[in-house]
């Protein structure tokens, strides 16, 4: 994406999704994945486009790096006290829970 090009929100959103998808690809080294997530966040802030919730789940709220299930994060579905997804970052230890219906 050229630096000063005028871009639509749709284009920015597509780029953010593409970057996060790439970061989640098991073939992408973790160092690159962290860079892609960083870029996606920068685009999101610069163009004020929100990262969709289902993609945001894979970015650590503590260290802002990629949460790749089984590699850099633990994802568990738990039912007590309410049904939720438990996510723990294996690098900074940040824990969060997301209630699901």
**Minimum Å distance from CB 93 to Zn ion?**
7
CB 75 within 8 A of CB 69: yes
Residues linked to residue 95 through DSSP beta bridges, in sequence order: 88
Q: Which is nearer to Zn ion, 12 or 51 (CB)?
A: 51
**Minimum Å distance from CB 46 to Zn ion?**
23
What distance, in Å, lies between the first and last C-alpha atoms of the chain? 38
- Residues in the interface with Zn ion (CB under 5 A) total 6
Q: Give me the helices (H) in 30-69, please.
A: 30-46, 53-56
Q: Does 63 bind Zn ion (CB under 5 A)?
A: yes
| Footprint of Zn ion (CB under 5 A) | 60, 62-63, 89, 92, 94
């Amino acid at each position: 994406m050229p630096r000063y090009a005028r871009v639509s929100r749709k284009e920015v959103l597509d780029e953010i999704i593409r970057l996060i998808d790439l970061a989640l690809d098991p073939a992408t080294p973790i160092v690159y994945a962290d860079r892609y997530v960083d870029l996606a966040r920068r685009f999101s802030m610069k163009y004020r486009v929100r990262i969709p919730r289902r993609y945001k789940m894979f970015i650590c709220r503590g260290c802002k790096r990629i949460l790749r299930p089984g590699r850099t994060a633990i994802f568990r579905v738990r039912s007590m006290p309410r049904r939720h997804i438990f996510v723990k970052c294996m690098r900074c230890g940040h824990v969060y829970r997301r209630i699901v219906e």
